[in-house]
Structure 1
Amino acid sequence: MTDVTFAVLDVLPEPHAVTPILMVRVGIASVGEEPVHAIALRCQVRIEPSRRQYSDGEAAGLMDLFGPRERWAGTQHSFLWQHATAMVPGFTGTTQVHLPLQCTYDFEVAAAKYLHALRDGTVPLQFLFSGTVFGRGSNGFTVQQVPWDREERYDMLVAVWRDLMQQHFPNTGWLRLDRSTIDALAAYRSARGLLGFDDAITSLLATSSATREMP
């Protein structure tokens, strides 16, 4: 039986991708002399928010996810970021593979909201590996599952996420709105001759601020 282990070596933005992708470089070791024909690798990537400290500014940005800081002991649980897959070609001993993580800047997604709130430091990640290992046996191929306990923790720099978002969405962000809200915002923009939705929202915010300041 072939025993395999995994180690996360680094996580970096993919510079040539059309959409935001983080590329995880995973080191794989096979314990034993038998060659591995291939691995159909699966990985569940989770965020473990309780493994780091947060500034007051970050805590304010995390209010929607975890509530006020005094409740975090009961609300700050590990949560799923995404699932990733890769096909590992045959090797003997050790090899490396790149595991792509498809990313989004949609603030309705919990992971994107969490990552956007962080200012510096690291993102506490947990990688849970699974999949199928194909080897060579006396009667042809052997098939076995990656052991259930293959996991790895990795602290990704917040700067890596920020660099990725700056690469694809420079100085911008994304908000998901109801169709009726978009239609109303478009009508407001057109009625006032504004150039874009950003100008319309800025105008509405200025009007709201002025109203609050009135005696």
Structure 2
Amino acid sequence: MTGLGFSCLGVRADPYAAGPTLVFRLRITAEQGVRVHALLLHCQLRIEPARRPYGPGEELRLGVLFGERARWSNSLNPIQLAQVSLTVPGFTGEAEVDLMVPCTYDMDIAATRYFQALEDGEAPVLLLFSGTAFTGPGGFQVAPVPWDQEASCRLPVGVWQDMIEQHFPGCGWVRLPRDTMDALLEFRSRHGLPSWEATVRALLAGTAAR
């Protein structure tokens, strides 16, 4: 089994991606003298909420995920952020590569709710690696990437906020069942409303009037 090591050098948002995408810069090291022909990596990224403090406002917003603070000693469990794959080209010694992680602004997803609740600071993220390594001089030796390989990262909340603002400037996102969307569309068409915002405001105004 090839000795490999992983570390995360930083994280940024991809300004040219079609949708919200984080880029984790990885450094991969191999044992001295070992030629790595290629790596087929699988990476699970998860948020570790117990590894940072929270202010009063954050506590209130995080209640939907973790309950009251009195329960947090048991409820601050890891949150799945993403699972992605990466093919790493050959190297000897060490290599640096970018791990592209598509994200969502779906507020029904726990990771999105978590980041939306944070005001500042950093979010602790753990990257867990597995996969297959192709190594060896003059030929191929195939070995699994050890399951205990991992790397920690502190994801700045500002990076997440700027990424979402780039793709959804000044907006939120709500997922609705198809029959509810059909009813909203019918209401919008019947009243000649120019946008979804105007549609929701008209419904809110009608509710307030009643």
How do 1:24-39 and structure 2 match up within 5 A?
A: 24-39=24-39
Equivalence for 1:150: 149
Tell whether the 8 Å contact from 1:2 to 1:32 is kept in structure 2 after alignment: no
User: Offset of 1:210 from its aligned partner?
Assistant: 5.3
In structure 2, what is the Cα distance between the partners aligned to 1:56 and 1:180?
38
Which blocks of at least 5 consecutive residues in structure 1 are unaligned? none
Q: Could you tell me which residue of structure 1 aligns to residue 193 of structure 2?
A: 194
What CA deviation, in whole Å up to 9, does each residue of 1:43-64 have, x standing for no partner? 1100111111112222222222
Report the residue type matching 2:204 in the other structure. Answer: L
Q: Does 1:62 align with 2:62?
A: yes
- Secondary structure at the aligned position of 1:73 is classed as helix
Alpha-carbon offset, residue 125 of structure 1: 0.4
DSSP 3-state at the match of 1:62: helix
In structure 2, the CA distance between the partners of 1:135 and 1:158, relative to structure 1 (3 Å rule), is same
Q: In the TM superposition, what is the alpha-carbon distance from 1:114 to its structure 2 partner?
A: 1.2
Q: Which residue of structure 2 aligns with residue 45 of structure 1?
A: 45
Judge conservation of contact 1:27–1:94 (CA < 8 Å) in 2. Answer: yes
Match of 1:161 in 2: 160
Q: CA separation in 2, counterparts of 1:192 and 1:117?
A: 35
Residue pair 1:41, 1:130 contacting (<8 A) in 2 also: yes
With normalisation by structure 1, the TM-score equals 0.91
- Name the CA distance, whole Å, in 2 between partners of 1:60 and 1:122: 18
Q: Which residue is equivalent to 2:11?
A: 11
Where does residue 172 of structure 2 map in the other structure? 173
Cα deviation digits, residues 140-172 of structure 1 (max 9, x gap): 211111122111111100001011111111111
Find the aligned partners of 1:152 and 1:69 in 2 and give their Cα distance.
Answer: 28
Measured after TM superposition, the shift of residue 206 of structure 1 is 3.8
Other structure's SS at 2:140 match: strand
Q: Give the partner amino acid of 1:148.
A: W
User: In the aligned structure 1, how far is the partner of 2:134 from the partner of 2:88?
Assistant: 10
> C-alpha distance in 2, partners of 1:57/1:184?
35
Cα deviations by residue, 1:55-93 (Å, 9 ceiling, x for unpaired): 222222222211222222221101221111111111111
**Does the 8 Å CA contact 1:11/1:156 hold for their aligned counterparts?**
yes
SS at match of 2:64: helix
The question of whether the paired residues in 2 share the 8 Å contact of 1:3 and 1:32 is answered with no
**What is the rounded CA distance, in whole Å, between the counterparts of 1:195 and 1:167 in structure 2?**
24
Give structure 1 regions of 4+ aligned residues with deviation exceeding 6 angstroms. Answer: none
Q: How much has 1:21 moved relative to structure 2? A: 1.1
SS in 1 for 2:136: strand
Q: Percent identity?
A: 44
Distance 2:159 2:36 in 1: 33
Structure-2-length-normalised TM-score: 0.93
5+ residue gaps, structure 2: none
Q: Residue 4 of structure 1 contacts residue 146 of structure 1 at CA under 8 Å; is this kept in 2? A: yes
Counterparts of 2:51 and 2:204, CA distance in 1: 37
> Secondary structure at 1:88's aligned position in 2?
strand
Matched residue, 2:85? 85
Aligned to 2:95: 95
Return the alpha-carbon distance in structure 1 between the equivalents of residues 113 and 36 of structure 2: 40
Matched pairs, number: 210
How many Å apart are 1:103 and its aligned residue?
Answer: 0.5
Please give the secondary structure, in 1, of the residue aligned with 2:99: strand
